[in-house]
Amino acid sequence: MRLLVAALPLFALAAPLPAVAADGEARDTVATLNDPAMQDRMADTISAIVGALMQMPVGPLAEAVARVDPDSGAAYIPADATLGELAGRDPDFADRMADDVRAGTRVAGHAVSAIAAYAPLLKDMARDLAAQWERERAAPRH
């Protein structure tokens, strides 16, 4: 789960790729991902979500599972257990997650910056490849 949450900025990076050709949108994406205040907001949001999830009570769910499958380990989960307790809650987990999100956002910002810088070259390459494709398709078979 930690890897998935830390990769969220990379998913955010992938979403605007078709728009990289639109220079304004690419600049906005680059600016957003490279903005330390935005990185902090993203990290704080993820930290709050993870912190809330870790405090979520799972006792009622465990009770329901135990009724369906009395031989499962769910029967031994205390009624007041939280997800964090079951996961072996580390009190610093949400903070470490926030640090991972900040780092992931910085990496995504660097990647989008590079993609934006190379976008004109990539567009030229795509045009060249399309032209080569058309020439090859029109050429007689040997």
Residue identified by tokens 């070259």 is: 121
Domain layout of the chain by residue ranges: 2-138
* pLDDT (0 to 100) of residue 50: 85
Which pLDDT score is estimated for 22?
Answer: 54
Residue 20: the pLDDT is 47
Secondary structure class of 142 (helix, strand, coil): coil
79: left (phi over 0), alpha (psi -120 to 50) or beta: alpha
pLDDT of residue 95: 82
pLDDT confidence of residue 66: 92
What is the per-residue pLDDT for 132?
Answer: 93
What pLDDT does 1 receive?
Answer: 53
Report the pLDDT value the prediction gives residue 63, as an integer from 0 to 100: 92
Rounded-to-integer distance, Cα 39 and Cα 12, Å: 12
pLDDT along the chain (142 residues), means of 10: 52 51 70 88 88 90 93 90 82 83 89 86 92 90 74
- Neighbouring CB atoms inside 10 A of 66's CB total 16
